[in-house]
Amino acid sequence: MIIYVNPASGAPIYLQLMEQVKHAIETGALRPGEQLPSLRKLAEELVINPNTVVRAYRELEHEGLVEIRHGHGAFVSQTAAANRMVSRKAQSIMQSAVERLVEAGLTEDEIRRLLENEFAQLRSRRITVAATGRKI
Amino acid sequence: MLWMKGWYETRIRLLVVAGATVLICAIASSDSTSANAGVSAQGLDATTLIGASVLAAAMLAGAGIKTQAGGFRPSKGLHGSMYYTLTLPVSRVHLLSVRASIGLIETALIHTLVCGAALIARPALRLTIPPADLLKHNIGAFFCVGAVYFLGVFFATFLDDYYQMMASLFSLLLLIVILNRMPLPASFSRLLLLSQASPLITHTMPWVGITALVALSATLFLFSMWIVKRREY
Amino acid sequence: MTQLAIETSGLRKSFKGHEALSGLDLAVPRGSIFGFLGRNGAGKTTTIRILMGLAKADAGSARIFGMKPADGASGAAIRRRIGFVTEDKELYPYMTVAEIIRFSRPFFPAWRLDLERRYLKVFDLPPNKKIPDLSKGMRSKLMLLLAISRGAELLVLDEPTDGLDPTAIEDVLRELVILSASDGMTIFFSSHQLADVEQIADHITIIDKGRAIVTGNLDDLKQQYQRILVTFADSVDTDILWVDGAERVRREGRTVSILSRNNVEAIVARATSLPGATVARRPVTLKEIFLDHVRTD
């Protein structure tokens, strides 16, 4: 499994890590029961703060995707498979929506802004949207 | 390791001072007193050469806590490597003590050199003065030189190299001038310059003088420690 | 045993009438990699001098491992546990690399021979080269070797990657990260290289004019800070957008940019409610946070 992070992107590194692990689970690069790279190894390879890795793994555990076994490391949880189903479905919804908007003549940026606006509208109308990244 | 480092930093300076001392002694010996002159005249002569020791003391004292380079490179303020030394797990007092000790030993070496030179350049000395007296004189003189050294150490805690030397020598000059003009009891002024109270005349060690000089040196050193502890870098 | 490796409270220091520190509060947790950022003259070096016992604060307190950095035996005891890399990277000009290592070893009973050997190799330091003949980058690496090999629990680094090329910088950052992961080392470093800080720091403090103006966990800060871009169909008075929490409001034509940490949702809601407004949110980089806070508007 190959992980890249961009420290200068503005997105917190631990979130980037989480996204990549989730993506790996979704695409099958990481299977349930498989071990994630060790804390020290990942920190050393990516040259990032080990506490960042800890936070990412803990958050993933919080979301049920990963199990941390003390002294042994972090492993993809069995329920990750179920979560994969949900995200597969979400992915297809998104895919068709984007395709239709592109057909309507919108650019990538316009679609992105539409999405931001939509979230903002939802929030201002006090409809809760399930967040993808939980706040600490 | 601090001793080794101190030696590294001062050895060039020591060499230069030793060379200068030899030169001074050589020049001074060219106008030697005649062998028939009296003891006091001889004594005065020997004392004059001690002046070279004094000069050396002033110069060697400058290798204090501030200077990091050997030789006579003028130190513009602090050297960067000073930060490394000061952040080592040693107290500043310890650093100063080691440095001062090295300089004192070097001063003693020069002093021995000067005394030896005096004997060589003034064969008359060996003839007219009993060697025990001469030894006592030289030892007593060393305490004088030592006081000058610690004066230099004191100045070195807050002055750069050249200024420290100037300050030391200037202070000495001032002291001599003042003492010559002041109506002091005869023994006192001579104590410091070791002329009349010199063992050459009394045939005993000038214990009072030595005690006074040691006290003076200690006081100067205490002041130096106090300054070094309070300094900011 | 305190949880903070370094702690300062209301630190004040003036030199010749100029106030270098005007009430600095710092809290560096043990085991963290702490980035200390600020412009030149903001007070970073003064703070480090006080922490290393080179200068004394006029007011306030500074504690390392819960103790005051003083001179004498107690100060020496603290300094035995700290590795220090100075800003100008100057060492004794008459020594070689091997000599200064040999010189330093006896001062530190906890000296790590394994780390010394590792860094000699990883940093590629020539043992018999005289220190003045080393490039600035090599001297930085040598100082790092000396700082880390002493078996310290805390590293205080002033511009540790100064003079290093990108591969060397990556090497140094990697070694620091490894130290943090394996030894739980606390690393406090001040740097102008925001990219370095952004990569390995987990906590930061930005100091400006002698005071801390931004402090926090780096990930949290990046999540909390958002840039909200509002584009209007027609020109509009930006005062409407000065909601509580809007930190830097800039206007360029019909687009307004707001940097905000607190109350982001309220600002977004407010902006969206305005007629003809399109709202977009962008994540914020450390550089933006830094520049926006130290630049005077």
Model confidence pLDDT, tens digit, residues A80-126: 766 666 777 887 898 899 889 988 888 888 888 888 888 888 776 65
Ramachandran assignment for C273, one of left (phi > 0), alpha (psi -120 to 50 degrees), beta (any other): alpha
Which whole-number Å values give the CA distances from C260 to A7, C28, C243, C266, C282, in the listed order?
A: 21, 25, 10, 10, 11
Q: Which residue from B4, B8, B83 is facing C86, i.e. has the nearest CB? A: B83
Q: What are phi and psi of C36, to 5 degrees?
A: -115, 105
In terms of residues, how long is chain A?
A: 136
Candidates C162, C174, C193; CA nearest to C287 is C193
Is residue B46 scored above 90 in pLDDT? no
- Contact list in C for residue B80 (CB cut-off 8 A) is 86, 88-90
Ramachandran assignment for A45, one of left (phi > 0), alpha (psi -120 to 50 degrees), beta (any other): alpha
- The beta strand positions in chain C, using DSSP E, are 4-15, 18-29, 33-38, 59-64, 82-85, 154-158, 186-190, 203-208, 211-217, 226-232, 246-252, 255-260, 277-283
- Contact list in C for residue B233 (CB cut-off 8 A) is 49, 54-55
Q: What is the DSSP letter of C107?
A: G
What pLDDT, on the 0 to 100 scale, is given for residue A128? 47
Tell which wins on pLDDT, A128 or A115: A115
Q: Spell C123-146 as b/e; 16+ CB within 10 A means b.
A: bebeeeeebeebeebbbbbbbbbb
A18 and A68 in one domain? yes
Tell which wins on pLDDT, C253 or C40: C40
Which residue is closest to A49 within chain C, CA to CA? C200
What pLDDT, on the 0 to 100 scale, is given for residue C213? 92
C106 touches chain B (CB under 8 A): yes
Q: What is the DSSP string of B11-50?
A: HHHHHHHHHHHHHHHHHHHTTPPPTTS-HHHHHHHHHHHH
Task: Give this complex's ipTM.
Answer: 0.84
| A63 in any annotated domain | yes
Locate the domains of chain C by residue range: 4-217, 225-294
Question: Does B contact A via 3+ CB–CB distances below 8 Å?
Answer: no
- Contact list in C for residue A44 (CB cut-off 8 A) is 174, 177-178, 181
- Contact list in A for residue C241 (CB cut-off 8 A) is none
Report the pLDDT averaged over residues B137-166: 81
Distance between CA atoms of residues A41 and C265, nearest Å: 38
A86 and A67 in one domain? no
Can you give the residue range of the structural domain that contains A90? 81-124
What pLDDT, on the 0 to 100 scale, is given for residue B169? 79
Share of chain C above pLDDT 90, in %: 59
Which of 1.10.3470, 3.40.50, 3.30.70, 3.30.1360 would CATH assign to domain C225-294?
3.30.70
What pLDDT, on the 0 to 100 scale, is given for residue B170? 84
- Both tokens assigned to C62: 């500074």
Distance between CA atoms of residues C143 and B31, nearest Å: 56
What pLDDT, on the 0 to 100 scale, is given for residue C141? 94
A45 and A33 in one domain? yes
The amino acid at A53:
V
Can you give the residue range of the structural domain that contains B204? 2-230
B8 touches chain C (CB under 8 A): yes
Q: What H or E segment, with its residue span, contains residue C100? A: helix C97-104
Contact A13 C177 (CB under 8 A): no
Q: How many CB pairs under 8 A join B and C?
A: 73
A86 and A72 in one domain? no
Strand partners, C96: C130
- Contact list in C for residue A48 (CB cut-off 8 A) is 177, 199-200
Q: How many CA atoms lie within 13 A of B59 on its CB side?
A: 26
Distance between CA atoms of residues C87 and C173, nearest Å: 17
A69 and A111 in one domain? no
A95 and A50 in one domain? no
- Contact list in C for residue B93 (CB cut-off 8 A) is 71-72
- Both tokens assigned to B119: 């004997």
Q: What angle do CA B7, B146, B186 make, to 5 degrees?
A: 170
Range of weakest confidence among A97-106, B183-192, C27-36: B183-192
Q: What is the DSSP string of B122-138?
A: -HHHHHHS-HHHHHHHH
Q: Which residue from C71, C84, C94 is facing B70, i.e. has the nearest CB? A: C94
| A69 in any annotated domain | yes
Q: How many domains does chain B have?
A: 1
Candidates B89, B69, B80, B77; CA nearest to C89 is B80
| A49 in any annotated domain | yes
Q: How many domains does chain A have?
A: 2
Candidates A60, A51, A78; CA nearest to A23 is A60
Contact A10 C282 (CB under 8 A): yes
Q: Which residue from B5, B70, B91 is facing C71, i.e. has the nearest CB? A: B91
What pLDDT, on the 0 to 100 scale, is given for residue B203? 65
The amino acid at B217:
S
- Contact list in C for residue B5 (CB cut-off 8 A) is 92, 103
The alpha-carbon gap from C7 to the nearest alpha carbon of chain B, in Å, equals: 19
In terms of residues, how long is chain C?
A: 297
Sign of CA dihedral B151, B156, B157, B163: positive
Q: What is the DSSP string of B184-213?
A: --HHHHHHHHTSTTSHHHH-S--HHHHHHH
Q: What H or E segment, with its residue span, contains residue A120? A: helix A108-124
Contact B4 C94 (CB under 8 A): no
Model confidence pLDDT, tens digit, residues B2-41: 888 888 777 877 887 788 777 777 766 655 554 445 555 5
C107 touches chain B (CB under 8 A): yes
Q: What H or E segment, with its residue span, contains residue A67? A: strand A66-69
Model confidence pLDDT, tens digit, residues C135-153: 989 999 999 999 999 999 9
Is 3.30.930.10 the CATH number for C4-217? no
A24 and A55 in one domain? yes
CATH of the domain at A31: 1.10.10.10
